[in-house]
Amino acid sequence: MIHDFLFGLFKKGHGPDFVQQYQGGPWASQEFQKWRNKAQDGELTLGGLSCAASQLPLMIMRKQIMIDKLFNHEGLDPADIGVVSSGIQLKFFYDIDDLLGFASRNLYSPNHAIMDIQVDSGDLPLSAHVGYWENEVVSRETAKLFYDYAQ
């Protein structure tokens, strides 16, 4: 999941589980650590991120620290995944017919750089879940996100 990957790169004082458990072999851990060091030193930043069919609301329950934050009405810190802009930096696309994709903006606080966008990518659960790639709104809004960042 992209949240976990970015959390591993940008969260200060956090050692990703897959690195600590040597998952993916020594090459994966070494390569990830190289990019993590750059992120921790401020040499690597997140430009823009577009996510379709976010499962973050389901997956958040895998880490007690995240459950505790939500229970205490704190919200997840977007800076922990590299979202630090004053403009829109992260767009979540979801379809209400997609059983595995959810709006996710309100999990973060503050969330001014994050946008939820509801789209119609299909009428049945399967077509809704796989239809984001052909959805004009997803394509247009993703292109706009990257164009705006490039400016």
pLDDT of residue 95: 97
Domain regions of the chain by residue span: 1-44, 47-150
Burial degree of 18 (CB within 10 A; 0-12, 13-18, 19+): middle
pLDDT digits (tens, 9 = 90+) for 119-137: 999 999 999 999 999 999 9
Q: CB under 8 Å to 88, separation ≥6 — which residues?
A: 113, 114, 115, 145, 148
pTM of the entire predicted model? 0.88
Eight-class DSSP state of 119: -
Mean pLDDT of 22-42: 84
Q: How confident is the model at residue 29 (pLDDT cuts 50, 70, 90)?
A: confident
- The token duo for 55 is 């499962």
